Amino acid sequence: MKTNVGKFALSLVAASILAAPAMAGETAHGKDITAALSDSKVNVNFRARYEGVDQDGIEKNADALTLKSRITVKTGSYQNFSLGLEVDKVHAFVDDYNVPGGSNGQYPVVADPEGTDVNQAFVKYANNGFSAIVGRQRVLHNNERFVGGVGWRQNEQTYDGARAQYKGKNFAVDYSYIHNINSITGGNVGGDFHLVNATYKFNKQHKVAAFTYILDYDTAHANSSSTYGGLYNGKFGPVFVNASVASQSDNGDNPNSYTALYLNGEVGSKFGPVTVLGGYELLGSDNGVGFNTPLATKHKFNGWADKFLGTPGNGLEDIYLTAKGKLGGVALSATYHDFSSDEGSVDYGDEIDLVAKYAFNKNYGVLVKYAAYGKGDNATAQTDTDKVWVQMTAKF
């Protein structure tokens, strides 16, 4: 992460606006602004995490002990306007690891670079179900399969632009125009990005959504695409069903010409204290190009070892089974993945993911997490990888 001039300017603007009421005197407007400030909320969050990686083909094991410190300020409302400012700092106490694009190639990658970042800085208007936000902000759609914040990493992915939302009783629509993406590695990714999501709730058991993502990158042209799709979440007594379908084709200056299909289906149910879920996900392929989700929270999908952050050219099929529940207040989950290609019947290997979480109270929590990936056919570029995480969180 690098704090550039634009980020610094955003923080100065937000700080100046927040300080303005001190000069407002005793006018009615001054009192209103003072009241808005008195309704402000300040939150502090700390997340300490050890991540260890043992990856075949790389000389040394990675050891990363990092601390994310975050302060979030949100003002109260003044004539339906409010402000938000959030700053993160990531410090590595142990930095025996490489970062994406880094020079420590003797270590596996841990995507948690050090630095200080203005994570959010925005002006918000909200009234009668309508809201608009201008500035640096989070944008999280549905299950974050297509647009997310990559909140697992110490530095979050946020977006610079304008967002308008309307939320009614059963219907909601969300449109964002984004001109810059603040990546988890601290880089700035420019382009013209249109993100649209609409949801409708028939009742508590059934919900549908439709989405459109038009991405036109300034430099990473291979990521430029047009995606149209929908999803369904439903409950039938003890059984729940999630389904999604989408079509993606090249856009802008993408050098590739393709039209690829996305499919996802999940069925699950609760059996006493244990919930069991089975799923199938397809990121299809066309003309040697795989379905691409560059804005997704990818760590949530296709295994925590992060072997498939980029879809292979001949696509990806992921068949998975999850069992989760609680034991003595500890939330436990286990998932098995079987990976293969969409085209060519290539065995991409398998993975086991385990996690245990415990909340001492609303302020403190601990997490232990493990991922073990085993490679498939020798023709693939993937290698056996084990990852372990131990994490402590504190929030106030």
Among 62, 95, 118, the domain-final residue is 118
> What span, in angstroms and rounded, lies between the C-alpha atoms of 209 and 157?
23
From residue 198, how far is each of 167, 181, 183, 250 by CA, in Å? 10, 22, 25, 23
Among 301, 328, 362, the domain-final residue is 301
> What span, in angstroms and rounded, lies between the C-alpha atoms of 3 and 13?
15
Tell whether 97 and 144 lie within a shared domain: no
Tell whether 94 and 184 lie within a shared domain: no
pLDDT in tens, 278-316: 999 999 999 999 999 999 999 999 999 999 999 999 999
pLDDT in tens, 180-196: 999 999 889 999 999 99
Q: Copy the structure tokens of residue 143.
A: 């299950």
Tell whether 180 and 104 lie within a shared domain: no
Does residue 347 sit within a domain? Answer: no
Tell whether 176 and 204 lie within a shared domain: yes
Quickly count: other Cβ atoms within 10 Å of residue 271's Cβ. Answer: 11
Among 118, 141, 176, the domain-final residue is 118
pLDDT in tens, 127-141: 999 999 999 999 999
Q: Is the pLDDT of residue 267 over 60?
A: yes
Tell whether 87 and 141 lie within a shared domain: no
Tell whether 165 and 248 lie within a shared domain: yes
- Owning domain of residue 84: 1-118
Does residue 396 sit within a domain? Answer: no
Which CATH number do you get for residue 220? 2.40.160.10
pLDDT in tens, 205-225: 999 999 999 999 999 999 999
Tell whether 209 and 290 lie within a shared domain: yes
Give the largest CA-CA distance in the chain.
Answer: 75
Tally of structural domains, the chain: 2
From residue 337, how far is each of 224, 316, 322 by CA, in Å? 29, 12, 9
Does residue 76 sit within a domain? Answer: yes
Tell whether 103 and 161 lie within a shared domain: no
Does residue 240 sit within a domain? Answer: yes
Does residue 23 sit within a domain? Answer: yes
Tell whether 149 and 284 lie within a shared domain: yes
